[in-house]
Amino acid sequence: MAAARRRRGLTKARTRRPPFALRVLRGLAVLTVVGFAGVAAWNGLRSAGFRFRWDVEVPPSRPAEPRAFREPPALSPLPAAPGATRDRGETDPPPSADRLFASGQYALIEFERYGDGRPVVSNTAVAEEWREQGLVVSFESYTAGATKPNVLDARSYLPPKASTHALSSPLAGEQGLEVGVIRLDFPGRPRKVAFSLFGPDLIESFEVIAWSGGERLPATARVHAPDARYAAAGQPVSEKVTYSPRGRSPFRAERVTIEAPLGIDRISLDGWGPPGHILLVDHLEIDP
């Protein structure tokens, strides 16, 4: 009996659970070993070039842009270069610095007469009236279906010294002028274009975009300067020239010059904003 009791005592001693504190220490030791093993595996994967999805920076999504800036607009067909072949479906190589496509003669368009010499009709749509001078115009509306800009009797928008008419957005009946983009296409692809641009002084920067050879020209290709011809007596022109049209908030007069060695295809004048605003063009010079 005594031997049996001793055996039962040894069995209970072997199966008795260790103290709680000892169990906690053992658990912490196991977690520590597993943690070190996990860190070693992580560092090994990273050194091998592995990256988890959340470990890679995702570039922020760009806000939606107006339709006019999502892609370059279709350009006017380029004139064929001398000696180019078309009968076998061959295409000309991209223009280079020593092969310019600029053609035509110098032209000054005041929008007081059409290209054939007839006086313009106020507040009418125009498109190809100045093609012979190297200009074709169009319009992309954000509020209606108009595709042509208008020649306006613009005395209510222009400074006192300005002429009567200017190129601007189409009229939208009693709602005033439509909001959108005025496009100036240059079939002859001149290397320099300059024009007077008028708009509300509330707009910090008039949006002018130019394309050459299918690519958008950088901001350095254009210069915005105060149009000194419209400065009031004694008004400094070092920063900007402003004036107050009839019953309207101050407007600003700028002279915009754009140059591209390989020729200018198109210039877009965006009046979308925000806020939507009027832009007027006058005294346009085309210099091949």
Q: Are residues 48 and 104 in the same domain?
A: no
Instruction: Report the domain count for the chain.
Output: 2
The three-state DSSP-derived secondary structure of 2-34 is HHHHHHHHHHHHHHCCCCHHHHHHHHHHHHHHH
**Contact (CB, 8 A) for 130 and 120:** no
Q: Are residues 182 and 119 in the same domain?
A: yes
Q: Are residues 108 and 41 in the same domain?
A: no
Block means of pLDDT (10 residues each) for the chain, length 288 residues?
Answer: 56 60 75 71 55 37 34 36 34 40 84 96 96 96 86 93 93 77 96 97 94 94 95 84 88 97 95 79 96
Is 229 a member of any domain?
Answer: yes
Q: Are residues 235 and 116 in the same domain?
A: yes
Instruction: Tell me the Cα Rg of the chain.
Output: 36
Strand segments (E) across 17-159: 107-109, 124-125, 136-141, 150-153
**Contact (CB, 8 A) for 266 and 76:** yes
Number of Cβ atoms within 10 Å of the Cβ of 141: 17
Token pair of 79 as six digits: 């004139």
Q: Are residues 110 and 41 in the same domain?
A: no
Q: Are residues 236 and 264 in the same domain?
A: yes
What CATH number did the domain enclosing 136 receive?
A: 2.60.120
pTM for this model (two decimals): 0.65
Is 150 a member of any domain?
Answer: yes
The pLDDT score that the predictor gives to residue 246 is 80
The pLDDT score that the predictor gives to residue 21 is 74
Q: Are residues 118 and 220 in the same domain?
A: yes
Is 131 a member of any domain?
Answer: yes
- 262 vs 3: CA distance, rounded Å: 111
The pLDDT score that the predictor gives to residue 58 is 35
The pLDDT score that the predictor gives to residue 66 is 36
Is 88 a member of any domain?
Answer: no
Is 162 a member of any domain?
Answer: yes
Q: Are residues 203 and 231 in the same domain?
A: yes
Is 264 a member of any domain?
Answer: yes
**Contact (CB, 8 A) for 105 and 284:** no
Q: Are residues 241 and 130 in the same domain?
A: yes
Angle at 52 between CA 51 and CA 54, to 5 degrees: 120
The pLDDT score that the predictor gives to residue 78 is 36
Q: Are residues 136 and 40 in the same domain?
A: no
- Which domain does 33 fall in, by range? 20-56
Is 95 a member of any domain?
Answer: no
Question: Is 210 exposed, middle or buried, given 0-12, 13-18 or 19+ CB atoms closer than 10 A?
Answer: buried
Q: Are residues 36 and 151 in the same domain?
A: no
Is 144 a member of any domain?
Answer: yes
Helices (H), 174-229: none
- 243 vs 245: CA distance, rounded Å: 6
Helices (H), the chain: 2-15, 20-47
Strand segments (E) across 156-263: 165-168, 180-185, 192-200, 207-212, 215-216, 222-226, 241-243, 251-259
Q: Are residues 136 and 259 in the same domain?
A: yes
